[in-house]
Each structure stands twice: as C-alpha cells, then as structure tokens.
Amino acid sequence: MTTTQVPHVNYLVLGAKPHLEANECTACGARFFDRRNACASCFKTEFKKVSVATDGIVRSFTIVTFASPGVPVPFVAAIVDCGGTSVRGNLINVDPTPEKVSLGMKVRLATYSLGADDSGIEAIGFGFEPA
C-alpha cells in the first residue's frame, strides 16, 4: 500500500489501533476534542493528550432521515459513553432502524474510508459499530 491516509478529524489517531485523542485539562481532567485556550470547567491552561476508550455504550441516538443537502440519509447519530468520556459519532455497520439500534447498546470504535482525493490521499473516518 502506497496510499497515504489522513484522518477525517485531527482527534482521530490512525495506525494499528485507531482511537480518539482528547485534550485533557491537567488540573481538573475535563476533556475536549478541539483545542482550548483555557479549560471551560476550571479555567486552567495546561492540557495533555490522552487516549479515549474505544469501547462504549450508546447513551443517546437519533436516526436522521431528513438532513442538509448533500448529506446521505438515513444515518444514526449517537452519543457514546466511552469509559466516562462522551463522544459524538455515527453508529455504523448496523441497520439504521429503531429495531436494530437501542439505548444502552454496546459499541466499539471502527474506521472506514471516506475515499481518495485528487492526489490519491485517502481520508479515514470513524464511527461506532455494535460490539
């Protein structure tokens, strides 16, 4: 494989064990997926990179059947509790129906290809699949 890969977002770490990485406040432990100037919880300014658990449970979801132009539907948007860190992501590799998706279901992080751009670079996205 000569294809170069890039993650969909900068908090997705690719490699042998793909996972999400958060900026954790060294003072209070609050976690953020984007960069922060100061902690929203305690106002301190030091952060360290931490790995987020890849296993989690579905704390909330919706099955979106009507979305913005260009966004393929249906898809399952969910909030996943990954060992105490709440993560936003789609549920993938599962039928997007209320019969197949349930609150409290166990899921794990999974990656998939978003395709290659004009220079042959492949973007990798993430979602959560039934565990």
Partner 1 sequence: MAADDIYILGIVMTKFGKHPDKDTVDLAAEAAMGALKDAGVTMADMGVLAAGCLMGQGGIGQQIQKQVGQTGIPVYNVSNACATGATALRTAVMAIKAGETDMGLAVGVEKLAGVGLLGARPASNSKEWTPSGRFGAVTGTDGRIGTDNMPGTFAQVGMEYGHKYGGATFELFAKIAEKNHAHSTLNPLAAYQKRMTLDEIMNDVMIAYPNTRSMCSANCDGAAAAVVVSGEKLKTLSKEQQRRAVKVSASVLTSDPYQEACQVLPDVNTLTRIAAKKAYEQAGVGPEDLNLVELHDCFATAELVHYDNLMLCEEGGAVDFFNSGATWRTGKTPVNVSGGLESKGHPIAATGIANIWEVCHHLRGEAGDRQIEGAKVGLAHVIGLGSACGVHILEKSAL
Interface contacts to partner 1, rule CB under 8 A: 6-11, 30-35, 40-41, 58-73, 75, 77-79, 84-90, 98, 103-104, 114, 117-119, 121, 123, 125-127
Question: How many residues make up the chain in this entry?
Answer: 131
Given the complex with partner 1, which of 4 and 131 has the nearer CB atom?
4
Nearer to partner 1, 67 or 131 (CB): 67
**What single-letter DSSP state applies at residue 14?**
-
Candidates 89, 15, 128; CA nearest to 5 is 15
| Cβ nearer to partner 1, comparing 83 with 131 | 83
What is the per-residue DSSP string for 32-86? ESS--SS-TTT----EEEEEEPSEEEEEEEEEE-S-STT--S-EEEEEEEETTEE
**Least distance to partner 1 from the beta carbon of 74, Å?**
9
| Of 74 and 131, CB closest to partner 1 | 74
Strand-pairing partners, residue 122, are 5, 116
Give least dist CB 79 to partner 1, A.
Answer: 5
Closest distance to partner 1 from the beta carbon of 17 (Å): 20
